[in-house]
């Protein structure tokens, strides 16, 4: 992928850009490791999260194998506990949270607002190194023998009773938190300061809005996580009496601190997915986003209320009934903006010209899985139902529908949608569509049975289980095989496209948005000259939103009735 | 299917299945719309693709926002209000003490019968569970009863149930607690009241809880200061349970089980007004089961009429 890349563009030879693509502007390893180009940092992050995704998935494979039978016959109880902890820690902090913001966000955000780079390019590189250091520390904890606290690090188990490498893992999470904060600060500043001429707030693509809201949450929530991890280390290492009830500490205090971060963290994982899916549905339906402003407000409201619902994780933890009532109420309220988004995506399809490309299939899959994930959230917001369902597989299924069915589907959707832009290559469309369908069914096969076994009472984090749950676990484990195939396929056809794929034109999807106005892959400094924006986003058709029936002629209406 | 074996199980299930119904309806609506649009407006069809009808903009947004909010608030009201009875523990409930530890359940009946990893209860009688943990957080979950309550170290948590079906039901530890979390199981045996009484009678009887507490009260040295003939100025425990206690720091607390437990384990935490903090801490001296017995004894020290207000 060197000069041939540009020489292919025969028609454009005369006015080929003076600048090389970001991929070929410097080919040494050092040029990558010392880059401050947001696009290269995105690639560095992508390599990191891919690695961790497969580490986390490997742990999941052993877990599902173990759960195939009721007896604990594959690994020991201690190993099992370490595996699900590893799966959670790695997937949450080293894959899901950085997945969309740090890869697609880093790559696209500056281009989408017409900027040359993020506001603080060096901070951006530093955030990747922090991620690398945090990841290495966590891998070290894994290699030494792992952690057995669950990703939630509940005290006093984690501080006083666990004989595993809790401190090292907590340190890894502490460090990686700062990479999140750095990214958040960078994005907020970039969006405020570096929008090109004409790019007003209400002209921002929804993906940028998603990055903006998620950055706010990252910056405001992550410090609490960092603090909480330090408190764990302080109690474990120096016997600071914080969570130990024998010295007057309160173990439930930890849960408040932890969920004050970790519930917003759910929105850190899902808000970027909203952004990706909005871009793809509007483009592949050739239709303006239905209710752009409502989409924006919904994301802002979710980001704000997301901070006020953490107590719904603690209905049975011994918190006051009054607190439970308030948290239940707010959890129901936050369902509203989420529902608005689902309805608006559906509305965007109305009167569109829908193409079922691979990104669109992933995005539609997201729509279904996220809706079901959201609806099952209502079960867990209802106190009496939550008392029965919490800490069972119902919860496991619920958050996997949101985080995996939602976020990961959206990440794959975005990865495919912008792959031609990022790499300059086209992947095999038929393989990609096939993988999207496999992923959708594999996901449901894996996680839907978990709703049922959760309702029947199967507890989470069980190495062995009563035999009556086996039938559901077998279904789930079998489904996981299909899901695994769905995840592995893109690895192969996307890698193949890097070497043998057709060259991508600048705008293969015919999409609006500044990122499609520059060559694929983009030149090092994105734009030859600063762009100017004159229109609202998503001008996929001439008329603006709902100008009234007056424009639709009688002839049109007749056609509608006929067709 | 899972049995509905307690008085609340049916209520929980009605809400659960209503939510299932709602979810099916919404999934069906969204699914039908997506599918219809996907077919009708797929690339290449001749369907009309002009501007949206006037009504389809703000009005749609406002109406589906309002209707979702209404549905959400309705479910909140319904679910939350049906939880209120569960928050209020019946006064006359049979009180059972549960001490959880890695990885077993220890149960103390009021008349001194003890069980491990099993709990025998009479059918149709309210049972109150007063629970604490000796080490990490556990959770007492009985899916057939639809109840669950975390069991915390350092304090008591309570829940209650009324069994409505005979049989054996799973007791699971529902909060991850370490290596053998998945083996921290138990059985809830629901018996006819007559059978329960017979079962109690055949069990090896210790003293009843209060009696054991009275013995411990002397054995552990409590009576040296708190006993009727003590010379040391220590607060009297007679009629203490349930009373308001003024503390040295000006605060007032109700002398409930949590207060009594804290005052035994860490007496310096809440010092009664007018007394010196001279009592030794029993943290690590008295076991959780012994504290349960001591509290039962303190609760049994009823005030004579003359001392009543």
Assigned domain for B293 exists? yes
Specify whether the CB–CB gap between A317 and A310 falls below 8 A. Answer: no
Question: Could you tell me which of A309, A454, A465 has the C-alpha nearest to residue A388?
Answer: A454
* A253–B contact, CB cutoff 8 A: no
b vs e for A526-544, b when ≥16 Cβ sit within 10 Å of the residue's Cβ?
Answer: bbeeebebeebbbebeeee
Task: In whole angstroms, give the CA distance from residue A44 to residue A129.
Answer: 10
B51 forms beta bridges with none
Of B50, B76, B87, the CB nearest to A328: B76
Of B157, B174, B269, the CB nearest to A391: B174
A with B: how many residue pairs have Cβ under 8 Å apart?
A: 280
Of A285, A321, A336, the CB nearest to B65: A336
Task: In whole angstroms, give the CA distance from residue A364 to residue A371.
Answer: 11
Of B43, B53, B266, the CB nearest to A248: B266
CB atoms B172 and A457 under 8 Å: yes
Specify whether the CB–CB gap between A419 and A359 falls below 8 A. Answer: no
Residues 6 or more apart whose Cβ sits within 8 Å of residue A453: A392, A393, A469, A472, A473, A476
**Per the structure block, which two tokens stand in for A1?**
């992928």
Of B33, B51, B61, the CB nearest to A551: B51
* B43–A contact, CB cutoff 8 A: yes
Q: Are residues B270 and B232 in the same domain?
A: yes
Task: In whole angstroms, give the CA distance from residue A378 to residue B277.
Answer: 50
Task: In whole angstroms, give the CA distance from residue A22 to residue A422.
Answer: 9
- Among B30, B155, B158, the strongest candidate for a mutation testing the A interface, having the largest count of A CBs within 10 A, is B30
* B155–A contact, CB cutoff 8 A: yes
Of A317, A339, A462, the CB nearest to B68: A339
Average pLDDT estimate for A16-27: 76
Specify whether the CB–CB gap between B96 and B112 falls below 8 A. Answer: no
pLDDT averaged over chain A? 91
Q: Are residues B184 and B250 in the same domain?
A: no
Model pLDDT for residues A126-160, shown as the tens digit of each residue: 999 999 999 999 999 999 999 999 999 998 999 99
Angle at CA A257, nearest 5°, toward B266 and A131? Answer: 130
Bridging pattern class, strands A425-426 and B167-173: unpaired
CB atoms B178 and A161 under 8 Å: yes
Residues 6 or more apart whose Cβ sits within 8 Å of residue B44: none
Model pLDDT for residues A321-339, shown as the tens digit of each residue: 999 999 999 999 999 999 9
Query: Looking at chain B, which residue has its C-alpha nearest residue A152?
Result: B176
Q: Are residues B196 and B219 in the same domain?
A: no
Assigned domain for B1 exists? no
Neighbours of A227 (CB within 10 A): 15
Angular region, B202: left φ>0, alpha ψ -120 to 50, beta rest: alpha
What pTM does this model have? 0.90
* A455–B contact, CB cutoff 8 A: yes
Of B48, B54, B72, the CB nearest to A560: B48
pLDDT of residue B280: 87
* A11–B contact, CB cutoff 8 A: no
Q: Are residues B180 and B239 in the same domain?
A: no
Question: Could you tell me which of A267, A229, A72, A71 has the C-alpha nearest to residue A149?
Answer: A229
According to CATH, what is the number of the domain A35-544? 1.20.210.10
Contacts of B150 in chain A (CB under 8 A): 316-318
Q: How far is CA B159 from CA B89, B90, B129, B134, B141, in A?
A: 7, 10, 5, 18, 10
Q: Are residues B83 and B104 in the same domain?
A: no
Contacts of A339 in chain B (CB under 8 A): 64, 68
Specify whether the CB–CB gap between A228 and A243 falls below 8 A. Answer: no
CA atoms B173, B175, B176, B177: torsion sign: negative
CB atoms B47 and A351 under 8 Å: yes
Question: Could you tell me which of A222, A204, A206, A211 has the C-alpha nearest to residue A189?
Answer: A211
φ, ψ of residue B106 in degrees (nearest 5): -115, 130
pLDDT band of residue A473 (cuts 50, 70, 90) is: very high
Assigned domain for B74 exists? yes
Q: Are residues B28 and B108 in the same domain?
A: no
The secondary structure of B164-232 as a DSSP string is: -S-EEEEEEE-S--STTGGG-EEEEEEE-HHHHHHHHHHSPP---HHHHHHHHHHHTTTHHHHSTT--S
Say whether pLDDT at A302 is over 70: yes
pLDDT of residue A2: 41
CATH number, domain of B224, equals 1.10.760.10
* B146–A contact, CB cutoff 8 A: yes
Residues 6 or more apart whose Cβ sits within 8 Å of residue A500: none
* B266–A contact, CB cutoff 8 A: yes
Assigned domain for B47 exists? no
Neighbours of A460 (CB within 10 A): 20
Give Cα B29 to chain centroid, integer Å: 39
pLDDT of residue B196: 94
* A248–B contact, CB cutoff 8 A: yes
Task: In whole angstroms, give the CA distance from residue A31 to residue A25.
Answer: 9
Among the three residues B145, B169, B202, which one is the final residue of a domain in this structure?
B202
Among the three residues B168, B202, B236, which one is the final residue of a domain in this structure?
B202
Assigned domain for B232 exists? yes
Give how far A330 is from chain B: nearest CA, Å.
9
pLDDT of residue B86: 87
Percent of chain A with pLDDT over 90: 86
pLDDT of residue A248: 85
Assigned domain for B181 exists? yes
Residues 6 or more apart whose Cβ sits within 8 Å of residue A484: A57, A61, A442
Among the three residues B157, B183, B202, which one is the final residue of a domain in this structure?
B202
- Strand runs labelled E in chain B: 94-101, 104-108, 114-116, 118-122, 126-133, 138-142, 147-151, 157-162, 167-173, 185-191, 244-246, 252-254
Q: Are residues B99 and B191 in the same domain?
A: yes
Say whether pLDDT at A556 is over 60: no
Specify whether the CB–CB gap between B212 and B291 falls below 8 A. Answer: no
b vs e for A244-259, b when ≥16 Cβ sit within 10 Å of the residue's Cβ?
Answer: bbeeebbbbebbbbbb
Task: In whole angstroms, give the CA distance from residue A362 to residue A405.
Answer: 10
Average pLDDT estimate for A455-476: 95
Question: Could you tell me which of A299, A219, A311 has the C-alpha nearest to residue A267?
Answer: A299
- Per-residue pLDDT of chain B (309 residues), as tens digits, is 799 999 999 999 999 999 999 999 999 999 999 999 999 999 988 888 888 877 777 888 889 999 999 999 999 999 999 988 888 999 899 999 999 999 999 999 988 888 999 999 999 999 999 999 999 999 999 999 999 999 999 999 999 999 999 999 999 999 999 999 999 999 999 999 999 999 998 888 777 888 888 889 888 888 888 887 777 778 888 888 888 888 888 888 998 888 999 889 888 888 888 888 888 888 888 888 899 989 989 888 876 543 333
Assigned domain for B46 exists? no
The radius of gyration computed from the CA coordinates of chain A, to the nearest angstrom, equals: 24
Q: Model ipTM?
A: 0.89
Q: Are residues B294 and B237 in the same domain?
A: yes
pLDDT of residue B303: 62
Q: Look up the domain containing B71 and give its range.
A: 9-41+52-87
* B76–A contact, CB cutoff 8 A: yes
pLDDT of residue A546: 41
Model pLDDT for residues A420-431, shown as the tens digit of each residue: 999 999 999 999
DSSP A160: I
Average pLDDT estimate for A372-379: 96
* Residues 114-143 in B contacting A (C-alpha not used; CB under 8 Å): 135-137, 139, 141, 143
Task: Report the run of H or E that residue A375 belongs to, with start and end.
Answer: helix A358-381
Average pLDDT estimate for A439-457: 96
* B254–A contact, CB cutoff 8 A: no
Q: For chain B, what is the domain count? A: 3
pLDDT of residue B275: 86
CB atoms A343 and B31 under 8 Å: no
């Amino acid at each position: 992928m060197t000069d041939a890349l540009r020489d292919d563009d025969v028609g454009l030879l005369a006015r080929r850009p003076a600048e090389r693509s970001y991929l070929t502007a410097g080919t040494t390893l050092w040029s990558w490791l010392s880059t401050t180009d947001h696009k290269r940092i995105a690639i560095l992050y992508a390599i990191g999260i891919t690695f961790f995704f497969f580490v986390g998935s490997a742990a999941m494979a052993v877990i599902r194998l173990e759960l195939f039978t009721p007896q604990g016959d594959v690994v020991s109880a201690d190993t099992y506990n370490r595996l699900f902890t590893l799966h959670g820690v790695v997937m949450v902090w080293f894959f899901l949270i950085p997945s969309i913001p740090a890869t697609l966000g880093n790559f696209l955000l500056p281009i989408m607002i017409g900027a040359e780079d993020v506001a603080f390019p060096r901070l951006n590189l530093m955030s990747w190194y922090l991620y690398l250091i945090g990841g290495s520390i966590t891998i070290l904890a894994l290699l030494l023998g792992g952690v057995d606290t669950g990703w939630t690090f509940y005290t006093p188990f984690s501080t006083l009773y666990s004989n595993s490498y809790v401190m090292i893992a907590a340190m890894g999470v502490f460090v990686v938190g700062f990479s999140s904060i750095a990214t958040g600060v960078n994005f907020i500043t970039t969006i405020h300061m570096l929008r090109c001429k004409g790019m007003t707030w209400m002209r921002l693509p929804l993906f940028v809005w998603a990055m903006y809201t998620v950055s706010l949450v990252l910056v405001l929530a992550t410090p609490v996580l960092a603090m909480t991890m330090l408190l764990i280390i302080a109690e474990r290492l120096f016997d600071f009496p914080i969570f130990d009830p024998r010295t007057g500490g309160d173990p439930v205090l930890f849960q408040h601190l932890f969920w004050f971060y970790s519930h917003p963290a759910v929105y850190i994982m899902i808000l970027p997915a909203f952004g990706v899916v909005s871009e793809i549905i509007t483009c592949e339906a050739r239709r303006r986003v239905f209710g752009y402003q409502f989409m924006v407000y919904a994301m802002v409201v979710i980001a704000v209320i997301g901070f006020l619902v953490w107590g719904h994780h603690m209905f049975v933890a011994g918190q006051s009934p009054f607190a439970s009532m308030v948290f239940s109420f707010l959890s129901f309220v936050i369902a509203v903006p989420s529902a608005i988004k689902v309805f608006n995506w559906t509305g965007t399809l109305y009167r569109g010209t829908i193409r079922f490309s691979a990104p669109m299939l992933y995005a539609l899959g997201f729509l279904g899985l996220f809706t079901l994930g959201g609806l099952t959230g209502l079960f867990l917001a209802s106190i009496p139902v939550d008392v029965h369902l919490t800490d069972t597989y119902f919860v496991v299924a619920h958050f996997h529908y949101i985080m995996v069915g939602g976020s990961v589907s959206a990440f794959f959707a975005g990865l495919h949608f912008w792959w031609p832009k990022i790499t300059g290559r086209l992947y095999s469309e038929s393989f990609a569509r096939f993988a999207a369908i496999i992923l959708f069914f594999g996901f449901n096969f894996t996680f839907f049975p978990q709703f049922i076994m959760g309702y029947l009472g199967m507890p989470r984090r069980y190495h062995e289980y009563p035999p009556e749950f086996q039938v559901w676990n077998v279904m789930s484990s079998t489904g996981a095989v299909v899901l695994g195939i769905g995840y592995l396929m893109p690895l192969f056809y996307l890698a193949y496209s890097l070497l043998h794929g057709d060259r991508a034109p600048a705008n293969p999807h015919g999409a609006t948005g500044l990122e499609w106005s520059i060559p694929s892959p983009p030149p090092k400094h994105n734009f030859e000259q600063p762009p100017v924006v004159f229109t609202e986003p998503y001008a996929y058709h001439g008329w603006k939103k709902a100008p009234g029936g007056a424009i639709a002629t009688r002839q049109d209406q007749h056609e509608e009735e006929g067709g | 299917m899972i049995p509905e074996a307690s008085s609340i199980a049916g209520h929980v299930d009605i809400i659960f299945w209503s939510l299932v119904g709602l979810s099916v309806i919404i999934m069906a609506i969204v699914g039908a719309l997506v599918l219809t649009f996907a077919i009708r407006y797929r690339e290449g069809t001749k369907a009309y693709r002009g501007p949206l009808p006037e009504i389809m903009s703000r009005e749609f947004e406002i109406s589906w926002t309002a209707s979702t909010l209404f549905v959400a608030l309705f479910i909140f009201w319904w679910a939350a209000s049906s939880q209120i009875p569960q928050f209020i523990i019946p006064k006359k409930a049979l009180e059972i003490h549960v001490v959880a530890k890695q990885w077993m359940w220890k149960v103390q009946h009021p008349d001194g019968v003890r069980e491990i990893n099993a709990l025998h209860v009479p059918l149709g009688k309210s049972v109150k569970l007063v629970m604490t943990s000796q080490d990490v957080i556990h959770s007492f979950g009985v899916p057939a009863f639809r109840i669950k309550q975390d069991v915390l170290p350092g304090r008591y948590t309570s829940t209650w149930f009324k069994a409505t079906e005979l049989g054996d039901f799973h007791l699971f530890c529902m909060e991850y607690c370490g290596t053998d979390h998945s083996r921290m199981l138990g059985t809830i045996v629901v018996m006819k009241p007559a059978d329960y009484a017979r079962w109690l009678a055949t069990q090896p009887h210790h003293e009843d809880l209060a009696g054991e507490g009275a013995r411990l009260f002397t054995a552990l040295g409590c009576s040296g200061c708190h006993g009727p003939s003590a010379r040391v100025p220590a607060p009297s425990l007679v009629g203490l349970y349930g009373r308001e206690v003024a503390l040295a720091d000006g605060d007032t607390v109700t002398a409930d089980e949590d207060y009594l437990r804290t005052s035994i384990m860490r007496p310096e935490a809440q010092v009664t007004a007018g007394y010196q903090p001279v009592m030794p801490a029993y943290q690590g001296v008295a076991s959780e089961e012994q504290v349960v017995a001591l509290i039962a004894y303190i609760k049994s020290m009823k005030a004579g009429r003359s001392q009543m207000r």
